Amino acid sequence: MEPITAFLAIILGGVLVGICVHFIPASATGAMSAATGIATGPSMLSAGAGMAGILSAAYSMDSGLAVVLASGASASALMISLTILGGNIANAFGTGVSPAS
């Protein structure tokens, strides 16, 4: 892939992540375990997962479309899974809240 095309594809991916994050409703469950009570967790989680996917896909840009798609999807899934697991461990053992996700 040409460098300009790859650059534009990465920018487009970032713009799409930014647009999609604004359509995710923040939940009361996320606000209940936050110190401030403001439910910003779902938006931050989805933005982080999207950026992890973009970085992973950009790293494997020379390997072909199938590898790029698999790399981006697996990086996003791994990031969100480990973040939710860490949050559940902190809630269960740190604050005594039962795991919800």
Sign of CA dihedral 75, 78, 81, 87: negative
Q: What is the mean pLDDT of residues 79-85?
A: 84
Q: Return mean pLDDT, the chain.
A: 77
pLDDT of 39 over the 70 cut = no
* pLDDT, tens only, 1-31: 678 887 888 888 888 877 776 666 655 555 5
* CB-based burial label for 35 (10 Å; 0-12, 13-18, 19+): exposed
pTM of the model: 0.63
| Count of beta carbons in the 10 Å neighbourhood of residue 50 | 22
